[in-house]
Amino acid sequence: MASSAVAGVLTGVRVADFSRVLAGPYATMMLADFGADVIKIESPGGDETRAWRPPVDAEGNATYFAAVNRNKRSVVCDLAGDGAELARRLAATADVVVENFRPGVMDRFGLGFERLAQENPRLVYCSITGFGSGAGAQLPGYDLVVQALGGLMSVTGEADGPPLKVGVALVDVLTGLNAFSGILLALRRRDGGSGPQRIEVDLLSSLLAGLVNAGSAALTTGRSPERNGNTHPSIAPYETFETADRTIAVAVGNDQQFAALARETGLPELTRDPRFADNAMRVQHRDVLHNLLQGRLLGATGDQWQDRLTRAGVPAGVVNSVTEAFALAARLGLDMVVGEEGGARQAAGPIRLSGAAAGYRTPPPRLGSTTSPTWLDERQSEAR
């Protein structure tokens, strides 16, 4: 795995990564992509996701593990045994510590914030939990459970169907992004002379903040939004339709786009129909409008409608598979794949920073691949 990127903007930042599964590793991988030296501290059994297979990549890694652990080194430490001292020595050399144990566990290992901050006055310490460090401290933070308890499943799925989870562990990803952002904020504050910094992020808070308009509606009206399938509670038509061969999404956000949609589907009279005079009226008469448009959209293929509507200024796109989505990104020049055809391949990072692009230097590490503790002495020598 290689990249033509220049030296990363985070070169010189060392991260002691005690996290596992998804949210924490996602955050630390983003730090690593921009040059941070991330040392992944694993139990003798390794990160659980090493065993979440199939599928596996060309190098034998579980693709789940591979997705969030490139550019890292792996050190095995039995924190409940004689590995705790090595872990503390590592934390003393780190700029950032990331952990996602239940609250109190790191303290029992002698790796809590208060102790480490005394030994390392430039420390940034990020704790990721499921439900915070208060009354929810002992609740297990698994994405599926948080999607359920956090209300996301209640607004996902068809109106007359059961609640559904999102197709990926989206809450973990949101939390990882929040951790990444918090770490960068804390590094800036630390570098401004504010001393050790502690960051706390949790899955439930990340989800509730990420509900955006659904959360705002619930807080404002006191009523929880209902499931709307692929429609939108506040915009119409903003939904999926069937075409002659596949499903297409049409997202009309204003009256000009609606007029273009009516014209392109051969229904210009819709713009003169008082039931569809503005967005609020279109939402009120959504079902009637959907049926009128659906009849016309069946007359051509999804690709034909996508091309035609896009040229007319109407946001529209066929429902792609994941492989089709990566192919689309390639056609658009977005360069979203890391690795060579036939080898281990991953999604590239989404952030493009001028003059300091992300770098893809090493594949996900083998368990315990960093076997010698000499890097501790090297870091301490640098500090001197």
* Residues acting as catalytic residues: 172
Q: Give the separation between CA 143 and CA 225, rounded to whole angstroms.
A: 21
Report the alpha-carbon angle 207-208-209, nearest 5.
Answer: 90
347 three-state secondary structure: strand
Tokens 């002698």 sit on residue: 110
Q: Give the separation between CA 256 and CA 225, rounded to whole angstroms.
A: 28
Residue 54 DSSP code: S
Q: For the chain, what is the radius of gyration of the CA atoms? A: 25
CA-closest candidate to residue 143, choices 165, 128, 164, 160: 165
Q: Give the separation between CA 17 and CA 24, rounded to whole angstroms.
A: 8
DSSP, residue by residue, 198-247: EEEEEHHHHHHHHTHHHHHHHHHHS-PPPP-TTS-SS-SSEEEEE-SSSE
